[in-house]
Amino acid sequence: MLKEKDAYFIILEKDGVKGIGECGLLRGLSYDDRPDYEDKLTWTCNNISSGFDELYPALKEWPSIQFGIEQTFRQVEVGGSEILFDTPFTRGERGIPINGLIWMGDPDYMQKQIDEKLNQGYGCLKLKIGAIEWEEELKILKSLRNRFDALDLEIRVDANGAFNFSMAERVLDELADLEIHSIEQPMAKGKREELDALCEDSIVPIALDEELIGLTDAKAKQQMLEDISPDYVILKPSFIGGWRGTEEWIELAEAWGVDWWITSALESNVGLNAIAQYTSAKYIRMAQGLGTGSLYTNNVESPLFIADAGLWFDAEKVGKTADRPFFK
């Protein structure tokens, strides 16, 4: 259970223009969650004059810092504005469809969350599973599907690697009749042969998330896609080297016939804003996982808001991030 989350921000000033980037480290999960993380941040700041093109490859083993400097240099490049990409999203003309996220917990707690999201108009729900007895979780899913067919409600589930092979097979068999959109990371990272067998035999599409963490070069990424052949990959920029790392994954995945969507990793609104703007510049085919900003009690102010089951950008509130009170 996560009660709080550390956030690191890199602030660069050049010719009076400030750029800010968030290094979205998530303890216990990020590839670069290491004791010397702050030492590497200090090194990065001390070498910031080297420029982005030299620093980025030097931070290959530190994907969250790669993303932090990517945001920082980009904001300086656009004059300090919060608009990093000019799209219909940042002009306030179009929202990004997002899934409603249902966190693990006892059945009553999960049902309460489901009802809230349905009342808010979500057409896609993502349920975290694997924390309580599977029979209880299956009852919730069956009840939800009995209320809404697959045309009216898309259901995704995320196991976060909770199941062994035999249990994953059982879960997939029982999900098949419920027309589930996908199951995310049914088994723990690293079990490639077993995951490949699941992907080959299952009629429920399988998406991979944790499996991507730690793959820092194109050959390793391609090898994973060849070894497992998933239906989807879930792209968290803070875990995979920011926009540039995400772009490489998209190119490789699409070449392999694998679809994708983009998800935040509990960043503050600074990192979430950067992820959302990049996402809005892509061709979006399905709901994205960008609804995590509202989880915080003390988040950074930003133009982002959620409405009509989508993430929106209030163009009238645009300013320069560095001028917001949090950073003074």
Choice among 236, 282, 320, 328 that is catalytic:
236
pLDDT at 85 over 60: yes
pLDDT at 327 over 70: no
Do 307 and 95 touch, CB atoms closer than 8 A? yes
Average of pLDDT values for 149-160? 94
User: Is there a catalytic annotation at residue 189?
Assistant: no
Give the integer Cα–Cα distance in Å for 99 and 130: 19
In this prediction, residue 324 carries a pLDDT of: 63
H helical segments located in the chain: 37-46, 52-58, 63-77, 107-119, 134-147, 165-176, 192-201, 218-228, 237-240, 242-255, 269-280
Choice among 126, 128, 191, 221 that is catalytic:
128
Widest pairwise Cα distance in the chain: 61
pLDDT tens readout for residues 87-103: 999 999 999 999 999 88
Residue located via tokens 């179009």: 94
Tally Cβ neighbours within 10 Å of residue 216.
Answer: 17
Separation of CA 113 from chain center:
20
User: Is there a catalytic annotation at residue 236?
Assistant: yes
Q: Using 50, 70 and 90 to split pLDDT, how confident is the model at 293?
A: confident
Give the integer Cα–Cα distance in Å for 125 and 107: 16
Token pair for 109? 């707690």
Which residue segments constitute the domains of the chain, with CATH numbers given?
Answer: 8-81 (no CATH), 96-323 (3.20.20.120)
How many helices (DSSP H) and strands (DSSP E) are in the chain? 11, 12
Q: What is the mean pLDDT of the chain?
A: 93
pLDDT tens readout for residues 241-290: 999 999 999 999 999 999 999 999 999 999 999 999 999 999 998 999 99
pLDDT at 186 over 90: yes
Give the integer Cα–Cα distance in Å for 201 and 305: 40
Query: Model's pTM, two decimal places?
Result: 0.94
Do 237 and 67 touch, CB atoms closer than 8 A? yes
Give the HSE-up count for residue 35: Cα atoms under 13 Å, Cβ half-sphere: 0
